[in-house]
Structure 1
Amino acid sequence: MAELAAERASSAQVKELAAKIKGAQDPEITMMSGWLTGWGNPVPDAGVSAAMPGMDHSAGSGHPMPGMMADDEMAKLRSASGADFDKAFLTMMVTHHQGAVTMAADELAKGAYPPARTLAGSISTAQTAEIAEMEKLLSAG
């Protein structure tokens, strides 16, 4: 979602926030992918939903990943631009971050791998702050 903002967002604040989100999430994804590879587990394809309709990761599709967008939601975001994109992006990213905070809380409560617990704490703190920032932007717009 964050990659779309550079071309489609009208607000400089949304573009900056999206770049910040992408900058934070890319290393997190790399770290978690490395753990999975090291443990001999497959790494989920982040592009599956976009490349293969019907394979979305939304919780509504029965997938256990809260905060993931459904194919139709992503299609709507990809087709939006300007202020419409800004509102859709912020709304969807709040949901996405809320899902990440939920998963981080679960890891903090039940996780056994110390580096994953540390990462979960960092994700929870950062994304909770970003949710507040996005909600502020939504209420101002």
Structure 2
Amino acid sequence: MRAFTPRTTRKFALAAAVAATGLLLAACGTEDGTSGMDHGGASASATAPGAGAEAGAPGAFNDADVTFAQMMIPHHEQALEMAELADGRAEDPEVKKLVAAIERAQDPEIRKMRAWLKGWGRPESAEGHGAGHSMSGMMSDQDMKDLAAVKGKAFDRKFAELMIAHHDGAVTMAKDEQRDGRNATAVKLADDVVRTQSAEVAQLRKILDRL
């Protein structure tokens, strides 16, 4: 049998110490690779391990992020319904171009926010979570009927008036997310909403001025 020299014994001791240190560090970490300390308050949560763009938005999130997605999904859906009414009714080329831009931007954003909520383990409906928050700028059923009832220049004017109010509401909700949200991906989308929809409001006002 091979005898262990003092040098060999020291090698084994060192290897054991390294292994023990690795186990200790693993025990102290959380599943997402961060320390077990929560720096965001009791309401903050972390996404599931491996969650990404196709699940929840990566990183920690809080109630404001959830409410933002839950409220913005139906808000975007109504904007798309308004845009669909432009088919066969809108006359102004700039209105038609703006309609296409709204459809191009908001449909993918709806899919993103649905994926976030699924990954976060939260319902798409805001009922019971974030209830009490109103969705600013939403059109009534009568507003939608009035928009559907007109064509040509009358439609262009009505569409611009209603979409300004609708976009203003989206910007208000997005600014709430900028202020209160924790998830970087959700806040980035809020930044995009504020920037793009504020620019579209300015464009819609110019359209109204010349119609």
Into which bin does the TM-score normalised by the smaller protein fall?
A: 0.7 to 0.9
Select which of 140, 151, 169 maps to 1:81. Answer: 151
Which letter maps to 1:32?
Answer: M
Question: 1:63, 1:84 → 2: CA distance?
Answer: 33
Q: 5+ unaligned residues in a row in structure 1: which ranges? A: 45-61
Counterpart secondary structure, 2:87: helix
Which letter maps to 2:175?
Answer: A
Over the matched positions of the two proteins, sequence identity in percent amounts to 48
Question: 1:85, 1:63 → 2: CA distance?
Answer: 31
Q: Given the two structures, how large is their TM-score scaled by the length of structure 2?
A: 0.56
Q: 5+ unaligned residues in a row in structure 2: which ranges? A: 1-81, 126-131
* More helix as a share of residues: 1
Counterpart secondary structure, 2:86: helix
Match of 1:29 in 2: 110
Q: CA RMSD in A?
A: 1.3
Question: 2:112, 2:162 → 1: CA distance?
Answer: 24
Match of 1:134 in 2: 204
Which letter maps to 1:40?
Answer: G
Q: Given the two structures, how large is their TM-score scaled by the length of structure 1?
A: 0.83
Match of 1:96 in 2: 166
CA separation of 1:63/1:4 partners in 2, compared to 1, >3 Å: closer, same or farther? farther
1:9-37 CA distance string (max 9 Å, x none): 01111111101111111111111111112
Give how far 1:63 is off: 6.5
Question: 1:63, 1:10 → 2: CA distance?
Answer: 36
Match of 2:89 in 1: 8
In the alignment of these two chains, the number of paired residues is: 124
